[in-house]
Structure 1
């Protein structure tokens, strides 16, 4: 323990003296804002601000266009505030490999044989100390334009989240913007061995990298560096731990794995003393971006990096920047407690449990809402740390034919995501307008996702953007209504004490057992002080369904109400429904297919 503390103190002093400005990094904005719950809005600047509508498959930046930092203007940020947002996750900020020619600015061409799509993967980082030149109006001043975006976001009372990609980098990683005295990743590696605790990468001595068979990154189009070859000897191990010099096209072949002192091939033995060089380098990168006044990091594939690293690095960054937020992308529920309790993360993705359950309820008729209670039971004690969502850049759009097929059908799932826990909820840009992700963008194809690899316009989002006015001027009346529902839901979720700080009580099981409704209806209570909410959602795909809802007597007691008195409940989401609760705690309701209500009990 004393050794760990010594490392932390020494590291912090070194960082303040050498890597960061002399003054202390400004603290992050306080978490206690107008909203009491984190409401996160994810957007890719490259897609978000793009006004062009050509949408040519594998189109170049000139053909299909690209958004810029400057496109996220005051009007857009004001609209985020009105939507109820507290944090904006700017995805794809740090410079990554791509296939646009910036050589006139001193940026070398990337090799097309190890880049996915024309715009490249935002998770194949080529320089941790620079930003994506695609996003700049004036490329030589791209970092200043990002800093201006951060300041602009803060002026609107919003916090800034960016990606930190700790597990892998682009195959051609080389930083030309690193601070003086910083050595590049791999600069001092011993490439004659597969693994050394002091190396930044893993190697395959005696083997040369081979481009995956049949890989056609641009379809039938060409690029100056596209020749089916990429020189890398010895070959490095891929980002998804594939120890082969000839990875398949479905592997993360465009990236290479970073070495945190774990000997993957030999039982994943760990070598953490002395502190591995990769740990120090990645800490310095986090501190660099904290010095740019970002308020948090969404940590890509955090569980592929040893939890011991996070336990070591997060307290150091928080010591320099109190209030900064760390969000882990993680898919193994068995590791949730470790990454919260040991790893010190503030929030974790909850894709595998709640998201998967809600998606199944939305798309399959044979699933039971009892599964939601099972998720809550499994997350008991850490519910408040889980980040819920229905969409993000990795998942299919709710309105796509691969998911709900209709944005309204996904509303019950979204309502549950936003209201069931104290923890944060996230929406992905365009979700609130019903974006279905139609079209064959390029590398990713037509799969219900908005491609992160290609230059593209996002049509339904562009209707709300309305040429940069961000006023929804081109939305249909139905889309405007959909966005209003999201606005009401997110504002309520963020500002209701019952939802960001209250107790949770599931009443689904009791009602199903009593025969009041079937297994396609879900009901729970959230309450704090004088605010008592009843959330009812229907995953019924058929005709309108009459049900009886009963609030158990013990629930009234827990909410501080007299169970023998009658109450009324008014819906706060649609503002059209009011019901009377009788002395037995019952009321009748007709549930339309895929409907949702948030009743306030008075």
Structure 2
């Protein structure tokens, strides 16, 4: 594994800045003198209170629309502010012990990217991929122009941009659409980055395919674990824990070579509270996230049961990328309950940093009930999930343990040591064997 040591302890709180501060979509785009990115500073104490130790930012660089159509990688988007505002945000995060992760788009650029404008007007086209005399676009989006990743100047440019912002205080990069970029490109970029910034962390956005092969061939520290995300909500909705068990077997294999970035929500998918048919199961999803190996990320708002459905249409991401007002405003009783569950389980994760590379072992699997052990060396936690209308009895001796301390769960007495337990209907428990 290539990841720096600090990653073992990080739990990201991810925000999509343009939406978070109301800069996109907006009837009238804000200007740099509004310094909107500084609004994020007002939420940093909230992130610390939640238990997060890192701030994962969506796109902050100059673009025309949603941030993924970059026009200037060296400039903060004027709808968010300017360089001094970014420096202020990083400094305030640092004071609170929060790491900062940036979102870099190096597969494509926006149609207003100066070199593309020159190329489209008949100038040098070598920076861009062409097919049959036409510029190649990303997944058919006319405003997203694919870079030519064989071009040495594009490689040098990417290295320079990433180094520039690491030098300004960032701790790492999420590499957008990394699955669409040839692995050989990253294999030429990342060793140079590590030589100059050995403590930086690089996570590639990969949705499908062979995660391990991408890590080995591209040199990422991590990739986004979409398989686990899908399996968590799907297993809960379908009452089919066999799917989750199968996915965790694959997850164990990934952990042999790298630690995936794990999540139950992000800016590109329907929010977990809307994805799940039973709102009580949000806590089940969180329990899996916080007790399995990985580098966890919480998408801002999910910790308070925000709802939002992603739609495949123009503006279809807006519902999952809303503007934020003030902490805890309007979340309701269920939102407060989910927030407290996040605090508790994030706290549990941070007290057990060995979970970062823990493997899971199934102890009991049915459609409606799942019990697994998360293990790393001499450390073990037992996690029990129940999505049945009936209670699920749990005998620790039958699972190979003498007794266990209840450390989290629905209606679980705190710190009680038990031999047998009962997982309530649609409930969950986490126990530490004694």
Tell me, yes or no, whether TM beats 0.5: yes
How many Å apart are 1:431 and its aligned residue?
A: 0.6
**Given that residues 270 and 309 in structure 2 are in contact (C-alpha distance below 8 angstroms), is that contact kept between their aligned partners in structure 1?**
no
How far does the alpha carbon of each residue in 1:314-370 deviate from its partner, in whole angstroms, 9 at most, with x for none?
A: 111111112101011002232x1222223221111111x2111112123224xx212
Query: Is 1:580 paired with 2:413?
Result: no
**Given that residues 225 and 261 in structure 2 are in contact (C-alpha distance below 8 angstroms), is that contact kept between their aligned partners in structure 1?**
yes
Pick one of 331, 343, 363 that aligns with 1:487.
343
**What aligned pairs does 1:71-110 form with structure 2 within 5 A after superposition?**
71-73=39-41, 75-97=42-64
Query: Is 1:536 paired with 2:384?
Result: yes
The number of aligned residues is 425
**Given that residues 111 and 117 in structure 2 are in contact (C-alpha distance below 8 angstroms), is that contact kept between their aligned partners in structure 1?**
no
How many Å apart are 1:67 and its aligned residue?
A: 8.2
**What aligned pairs does 1:176-575 form with structure 2 within 5 A after superposition?**
184=115, 199-203=126-130, 235-240=134-139, 251-261=140-150, 276-334=152-210, 336-351=211-226, 353-365=227-239, 368-383=240-255, 384-400=258-274, 403-405=275-277, 407-421=279-293, 423-437=294-308, 443-445=314-316, 449-451=319-321, 456-458=322-324, 462=325, 465=326, 470=327, 472=328, 474-509=330-365, 518-528=366-376, 531-540=379-388, 543-549=389-395, 555-556=400-401, 566-573=402-409
- What is aligned with 2:108? 168
How many Å apart are 1:480 and its aligned residue?
A: 1.9
Query: Is 1:129 paired with 2:74?
Result: yes
**Given that residues 544 and 590 in structure 1 are in contact (C-alpha distance below 8 angstroms), is that contact kept between their aligned partners in structure 2?**
no
* Partners of 1:158 and 1:44 in 2: CA distance: 17
**Given that residues 59 and 104 in structure 2 are in contact (C-alpha distance below 8 angstroms), is that contact kept between their aligned partners in structure 1?**
no
Specify the structure having the higher radius of gyration (Cα): 1
Query: Is 1:596 paired with 2:406?
Result: no
Query: Is 1:37 paired with 2:9?
Result: yes
**Given that residues 235 and 244 in structure 2 are in contact (C-alpha distance below 8 angstroms), is that contact kept between their aligned partners in structure 1?**
no
Please give the root-mean-square deviation of Cα atoms over the aligned residues, in Å. Answer: 3.3
How many Å apart are 1:236 and its aligned residue?
A: 2.0
**Using a 3 Å threshold, how does the CA distance of structure 1 residues 496 and 439 change in structure 2: closer, same or farther?**
closer
* Partners of 2:35 and 2:390 in 1: CA distance: 43
**Using a 3 Å threshold, how does the CA distance of structure 1 residues 361 and 280 change in structure 2: closer, same or farther?**
same
How many Å apart are 1:204 and its aligned residue?
A: 5.8
**Given that residues 381 and 431 in structure 2 are in contact (C-alpha distance below 8 angstroms), is that contact kept between their aligned partners in structure 1?**
yes
**Using a 3 Å threshold, how does the CA distance of structure 1 residues 474 and 508 change in structure 2: closer, same or farther?**
same
Gap runs ≥5 in structure 2: none
How far does the alpha carbon of each residue in 1:459-489 deviate from its partner, in whole angstroms, 9 at most, with x for none?
A: xxx3xx2xxxx4x365434322221110111
Name the one with the larger strand percent: 2
**Given that residues 186 and 200 in structure 1 are in contact (C-alpha distance below 8 angstroms), is that contact kept between their aligned partners in structure 2?**
no
* Partners of 2:195 and 2:166 in 1: CA distance: 11
How far does the alpha carbon of each residue in 1:494-548 deviate from its partner, in whole angstroms, 9 at most, with x for none?
A: 3314423545322124xxxxxxxx32211111245665311111233xx233334
* Partners of 1:303 and 1:382 in 2: CA distance: 17
**Given that residues 261 and 297 in structure 2 are in contact (C-alpha distance below 8 angstroms), is that contact kept between their aligned partners in structure 1?**
yes
Name the one with the larger helix percent: 2
